[in-house]
Chains A and B, each alone.
Chain A
């Protein structure tokens, strides 16, 4: 067992009937890092963290949190973890303060320690002023913040956050992302699941891209981008069916690949500034008019597209 690792997962598997939700995944998270599990809905992210949080038992494989096996030492493992569920798991008829006090007690806090941690967390989530208001009366973003705060009370070594920014306003999202970075600065390890590539890119030290129950790519943001070879994607709207112009464009210097679908030509190039004028020139010669141009610098979306042939946000 490596003492530098906060989370270690080996060949973890889980099926629900005939559906293989998680198919033997392995990954590690070092202490103090943010690891994101990025993938579309149904990729197996929530199942993976449900197993790590002790909510469901794996069918096979091993996993440990802070050196405690989730199967043979579940209580020790859970004591090291704060889980932020995707749903707002709070009591709407209790106030923010009452909710935090209750969850603090569930994590074993008592007396002065409980009181001081509740005060601190209320400050961290910016709800000191509204602490006595019923959570049921809060906005979605404020509920999300209390939802996160409840997992921070016992200052766990590992925080597991399951899509914590789903369905909230940009201001609250910003607040949450900044909080996550602050947690990392405090030395906590964060396992973060999201299907927003911008969040994964902004927050993560490492990213594991999941699809159909498997990790299809793992690395830092830059390492993953290099998988698509620094290619820029151009989406060009055309006046006619694109198939006719594609052979000509594939001959243009700097073009790696040209495909078309529904009147949109997708062209992978090395440098859009250099290649775009040549594509216009070639189209002009062929009598094809280019109506629109979208330039996509390489990002995690491109990586996912490159690896799976489908968009990250396809549901």
Chain B
């Protein structure tokens, strides 16, 4: 209960500070508009689809044909036929987001019930790579499941009326597969071997903003100003030490962790409220469809608020004065924002820049948002960004807690 009292007191103090309105509300809204205009030209990219290569070594095979059709029909992909030799280099260089390799005799092997695996050449650590893996997997499962269903239905027929010849059986099996493939609407669990290669993103294939420049500007500014907003709450911690109110708290029966948790809760709430405000603004005024996957957006925001508030606690405990808070918070904001892709998508940056950028928690917050807003992926696509951001939160909090306890003692 006293944790809540400390948090409420902090929020009371922050909201009475006129600078807070400027940092938390006014500036993010203005910057969102500004950045949105800046992205407008970038949003007119010629083809928003992810380039994916198909290496069809099973030419003429019914299953590989079905797979090619499925990929070609997928709205998210731009399919290119390539040779086996080209596949790895094309992915490594970033020309293709991934390449799907269909081995020789794939159709025959699968229909005969012998093992034959597709191979997806992909960089699993790139945003594009993750997206491709997520989108290709259901298609492949669809294929294998269709074969299995066709086989089962054939066995059922066969138990009553045996086929006159093996050729007749194969024809019937292919017909059953075709029916199942076209009727199929869900997925099952089947395997696909993924060969992992590392490639940089490439500017020429920068992800577009799905037709709305604010799909980048709105979450970008949200993430950036989350860090900017930390100035007010971290300053509060410094003032708490300077005014000796922290020491006074320590003379009560409070535990150190309760004091820390109270301040953290205030920062977390503030960041979350600021985020919600910007999400509502983005949804209503800028046409950013956050509410398409509200749970996914919430997961990204909660994990963002978790590490950002832990960072605020760390800045507040490390800084010796108000000026230091501003300097440290600004440096953190500019570094993490620029590296983490809040100003421009990391896919549009150079190889080294993007690699470093992906080490920042901001990049994972942006990945979570972009998976939902730009790539149109499902809620599940935010689980990895959520988990990684939480891991960052734990790490930063551990540092802040150590420093806080050191000061308290």
Contacts and interface: CB of A to CB of B under 8 A. Distances in A.
Given A90-B243, A90-B245, A91-B245, A53 B253 contact: no
Contacts of A57: 409
A106 B6 CA distance: 8
Nearest to A134: B16
Interface of A is mostly: loop
Nearest to A57: B409
Interface string A129-155: 000000000000000000000100000
Given A94-B13, A102-B5, A55 B251 contact: yes
A136 to B, nearest CB: 10
Contacts of B16: 93
Interface residues of B, number: 21
Interface stretch (A22-30, A76-84, A199-207, A214-222): A76-84
A103 B17 CA distance: 21
Contacts of B114: none
A75 B253 contact: yes
Interface string B2-31: 100100010011001100000000000000
Nearest to A107: B252
Given A53-B251, A54-B251, A106-B254, A94 B9 contact: yes
Nearest to A75: B253
B399 interface: no
A304 to B, nearest CB: 29
A209 B12 CA distance: 44
A91 B248 contact: no
A102 B251 contact: no
Interface string A91-111: 111100010001101111010
Most chain A Cβ neighbours within 10 Å, of B1, B247, B409: B247
Contacts of B387: none
B9 A89 contact: no
Q: Which 3 A-B pairs have the closest CB atoms?
A: A89-B248, A83-B251, A89-B244
30 contacts: A53-B251, A54-B250, A54-B251, A55-B247, A55-B251, A57-B409, A75-B255, A76-B253, A78-B253, A83-B248, A85-B244, A85-B247, A87-B244, A88-B244, A89-B244, A89-B247, A90-B245, A91-B9, A91-B13, A93-B13, A93-B16, A94-B12, A94-B13, A105-B5, A106-B5, A106-B249, A106-B254, A107-B252, A108-B253, A110-B1
Interface of A: 53-55, 57, 75-76, 78-79, 81, 83, 85, 87-94, 98, 102-103, 105-108, 110, 150
